[in-house]
Structure 1
Amino acid sequence: MSDTPQGATPEITLYSTAICPYCVAAKNFLKSKGQTWTEVRIDLDPAEREKMIAKANRTSVPQIFVGDVHVGGYDDMIALHRAGKLEPLLAGGAT
């Protein structure tokens, strides 16, 4: 059994910087889906940048996590959406 309560949605974490058009696009897309997220600005906190690199194994932003699942960047998220796999993930299901 999962630790996530039935019907609970996983937390979305979005690693970003101030001047990142793909970060803005990702946030606008998530907003259009009625989602909320925690934004982690790696340009303001180098320690968070190191954490992101360790978790995602990537240095570019945005890096998007839904719960413990690494979705990737904006293009990765849109590809997952087009494949019909993002919405079940956002709803708490597996990909």
Structure 2
Amino acid sequence: MSRISVYSTRICPYCVMAKRLLSAKGAAYDDLRIDQDESARAEMQKRAPASRTVPQIFIGETHVGGFDELAALDRAGKLDAMLAPYINEQS
């Protein structure tokens, strides 16, 4: 099963908020730092070719988008169902 992937940088406040929201939900995720790893940047651009900003969040193979989209899913009551397979998953 694919995992949750968060493409991020160290200084991005939206990345921090996205990871806090996922952690608060108990979801396991991979933090892929594009500022430290060029291969992570290339992978992000391949998976989300039109996206140039971080965070870029994937739940399994579904491209959620950034923090605003993740928070909108949460407000709409849809995020918990999407995260259910990843709650308390071992890293």
1:69 maps to 2:66: no
Deviations 1:51-83 (A, max 9, x none): 101211201000111110111100000011111
Any residues of structure 2 matched to 1:1-95 within 5 Å, and which? 11-57=3-49, 58-92=51-85
Separation in 2 of the partners of 1:33 and 1:89? 11
TM-score (norm 2): 0.84
Q: Percent identity?
A: 50
Greater RCO (Cα-Cα under 8 Å, separation 6 or more):
2
Q: Matched residue pairs, number?
A: 84
Larger radius of gyration: 1
Deviations 1:15-51 (A, max 9, x none): 0011100011111111111112111000111221121
Deviation of 1:11 after TM superposition, in Å, equals: 1.6
Q: Tell me the C-alpha RMSD between the 2 structures.
A: 1.3
Separation in 2 of the partners of 1:18 and 1:38? 14
| Aligned structure 1 segments of 4 or more residues deviating by more than 6 angstroms | none
Separation in 2 of the partners of 1:76 and 1:59? 15
AA of the residue aligned to 1:77: L
